[in-house]
Amino acid sequence: VELMKKGVVTNQKKIHNPGKTIASFCMGSRDTYDFLDENPSIEFKRIDYTNNPLIISRNRMMTAINSAMEVDLTGQATAESLGGTFYSGTGGQADFMRGAVLSPGGKTILAFPSTALNDSVSRIVPVLQEGAGITLTRGDVHYMVTEYGIAYLHGKNIRERAMDLIAIAHPKFRPWLIEAARKRNLIYKDQVFIPGEKGMYPEELETYRTTKKGLEIFLRPVKITDEPMLKDFFYDLSEDSMYMRFFSARKDMPHKRLQDFVIVDWSLKMEILAVIKEKEKERETIIALGQYELNPDKYMAEVAIVVKDEYHGMGVGKELLSYLTYIARRHGLLGFTADTLVENKAMVSLFEKMGFYTEKRREEGVYEMKMLFRKFKEQNREDVI
């Protein structure tokens, strides 16, 4: 009612019943009832109207938000019972979720705390308890949301769903969920997982940047669920780009190799993706990857960057290296090293344009490069052998 009084909720964009608030029942204060009384913008309908999925779907971009008591790793959810113990009926949850799915541009969201009973029980479980009623099937939900993030499930296979849901579970239950998922063949048998703070996704490092060519990119740490998207990214690279990055023309990226990129001990490595968000498709596309790994002395790190071919020359690499430099300096590192092919002029140029003291040494067609994070710019020195 307060939102309607302030003009926030107007119903002006509704295709069906424009300008009208439709309801089936109301519980509220005396002020609420006074607002409803003989208000022509409010209409009460029977349940067989308000909960009819075909009527719900008539409005464009319908969004249904519900909650759940328990969710399994395939995306099935119960909002009515835990095992054979009933807590409620189905209500209108399934009606509105399916009506939103049928709506043009519609989406469904299931939002719930990751735990119950003072963090002693995980709401995300390997399988629903025996006897539980399945309120929503795994095909009903687009998004699942907890306080630890968002899992987008629509169109994903079982392995991807399981990894997405484990990533938003409470951290103390994630090792248990990983092990249970392995036993049930929901994920790879050799799926690696780093428990504790070292493996926690550093959400605070997410940021937006605009490149010199005006391209808006989203820079964020890599997630354990990025494996399929990262595989597509590598397969989209040209042979030249693969060769410049890996000193090899190999293009195969099996699961075992991809895990090196998505399973990160954040105390030793940093992996940052440059992503473009495609709003219409509700998806992200990786256009670049920047990473550094601590050298044994832990005061320097080896850095590497690869950018998708169609985004070369747009300033993406510079933004990535600048951001990696910012993170490294914040963590107390003294500089970067990099081995790059002599013909990789873009990487050499990136180093030299950062405004720090740089060195490069040529050895059998490869530059051994060093960049020190000094606050003043000294004249660069080049040692060529």
Pick the CATH number of 199-383 from 3.40.630.30, 3.40.50.10380, 3.20.20.100, 2.40.50.100: 3.40.630.30
Please, what is the average pLDDT of the chain? 91
- Encoded tokens for 79: 């909002």
pLDDT of residue 168: 94
pLDDT of residue 282: 66
Helix, strand or coil, per DSSP, at residue 23: strand
Residue 382 pLDDT > 70: no
pLDDT of residue 173: 96
Q: Considering the domain 51-191, what is its CATH architecture?
A: 3-Layer(aba) Sandwich (3.40)
Kindly give the interhelix angle for 316-330 and 345-352, rounded to the nearest 10 degrees: 50
At 69-82, the pLDDT tens digits run 999 999 999 999 99
Say which DSSP state 164 is in.
H
Cα separation, 198 vs 9, in Å, equals 44
Location of each CATH 3.40.630.30 domain in the chain = 199-383
Cα separation, 367 vs 142, in Å, equals 48
Location of each CATH 3.40.1080.20 domain in the chain = 51-191
At 120-161, the pLDDT tens digits run 999 999 999 999 999 999 989 999 999 999 999 999 999 999
At 160-183, the pLDDT tens digits run 999 999 999 999 999 999 999 999
pLDDT of residue 379: 45
Percent of the chain with pLDDT over 70: 96
Cα separation, 54 vs 92, in Å, equals 13
Helix then strand count (H, E) for the chain reads 12, 22
Question: Which residue, 169, 136, 165, 140, is CA-closest to 152?
Answer: 165
pLDDT of residue 385: 36
